[in-house]
Homo-oligomer: A and B are copies of this chain.
Amino acid sequence: MIPISITIKDVAKELGVSYSSVSRALNGKEGVSEVTRQKIAEAAKNMGYQPNDLARGLVNKISKTVGVIIPDINNPFFGEIVTGIVEAANENEYNVFLCISNWDPDQEKENFSLLKKKRVDGIILKSIGENGRYRDIRSPLMIIESDNDMEGRQSVEVDNELGGYLAVQHLLNCGYRNLAVILGKEDMFASTRRLKGAKRALNVFGATIEEENIILGNFSIEGGRVAAKQIFKKNRQIDAVFAMNDLIGLGVLQYCNEAGIRVPEEVGVIGFDNISYAGLPQIELTTMHQPKHELGRLLFEALLEEIQEKESTQQIKKISLNPELKIRKTTKCEK
């Protein structure tokens, strides 16, 4: 079952031309007469010739390949981003290696090393928050939500601080006053930014939040459930929670459901990301929308630019998109 692939030499022999001519013709380089170019194109097609990107990569130092390292493809946030990345990549004849770090620094390192062997042209990374480990990565790199330690690296992200601000502003507008916040401990960069925005909104309103009402949870449904339990066990006054992503939000809803707490009457809940399941009629989670698909496309396009730039201007781009408030049924007002 060894696939016999036909090479540039085979088609050269077939036509009795040199194989450099074939190479030139097939790559649209000048130096071939129209006539032979035609003949070559035709023969190549008939013979089912497919260029060998391994060989090409070896000489060009371009593998037409990028790596994507994310923690979890089952989080719809990443799923949609990856969809955008793959789409844009394929349009540019690129393939993408999918790596899953599982929020584990060791696996992430392992992934880097595997990708390096493959000589990918660039990497798109959702960093899992151990600092200073990317300084020595010498290939083009795009960060999904950069941390401070990534200064000097390109990144594409939503304006997280603005997102936090808008989320809490909405909660306040609804009349909720005793807020709790659940941070995602796997990703303190985004969480910290969003929290900063949240505090600013509180501040503008002349309010504050107790440190004890800011808790650390896992970025998962179960993580949200556990965190909510912790919150309400500790403080019955809480009347609204800002969850750092929709998965956590879903977990909060789950807890409220179990504990008989009415949403949005007794407590309001807002999430972040706007994953599709948040919009289910049984859920209707109010949340901050992120343009995930677009984020994915931009991520790849910016990476490609960096790859092709070689050594020109090389200015560090930080692309930032705006999140959008998506009001549904887990908060009790409409503005």
By a beta-carbon cutoff of 8 Å, the part of chain A in contact with chain B is 1-5, 50-55, 57-58, 61, 63-65, 67-68, 73-74, 76, 79-80, 82-83, 86-87, 90, 93, 95-100, 107, 110-111, 113-119, 138-140, 221, 250, 253-254, 257-258, 276-277, 280-283, 306, 310-311, 314
- Which listed residue (B64, B107, B119) contacts A53, Cβ 8 A? B119
Given A98-B96, A257-B282, A281-B254, the answer on whether A79 and B73 have CB atoms closer than 8 Å is: yes
In the complex, besides A50-B113, A54-B63, A68-B98, 18 extra interface pairs with C-beta distance below 8 angstroms are A1-B140, A1-B311, A2-B311, A4-B138, A53-B118, A73-B73, A73-B82, A73-B86, A83-B100, A86-B99, A87-B100, A95-B118, A97-B98, A221-B280, A257-B282, A258-B281, A277-B280, A280-B283
Q: Which residues of the other chain, B, contact A113 by a CB distance below 8 angstroms?
A: 50
Of listed A54, A63, A221, residue having the most chain B CB within 10 A: A54
Q: Which residues of the other chain, B, contact A86 by a CB distance below 8 angstroms?
A: 73, 98-100
A51 touching B110 by the CB < 8 A rule? no
The smallest C-beta distance from A289 to any residue of chain B, in angstroms, reads 16
A119 touching B5 by the CB < 8 A rule? yes
Which residue of chain B is the closest to A79 with respect to CB atoms? B74
Q: Which residues of the other chain, B, contact A116 by a CB distance below 8 angstroms?
A: 50
Q: Which residues of the other chain, B, contact A314 by a CB distance below 8 angstroms?
A: 1
The smallest C-beta distance from A140 to any residue of chain B, in angstroms, reads 6
8 contacts between A and B (CB under 8 A): A54-B63, A73-B79, A73-B83, A74-B83, A87-B100, A95-B118, A97-B98, A254-B281
In the bound complex, CA of A83 to CA of B78 (Å): 13
- Which listed residue (B54, B110, B117, B310) contacts A90, Cβ 8 A? B110
Of listed A93, A250, A281, residue having the most chain B CB within 10 A: A281
3 tightest A-B CB contacts, nearest first: A3-B138, A98-B98, A282-B282
A90 touching B111 by the CB < 8 A rule? yes
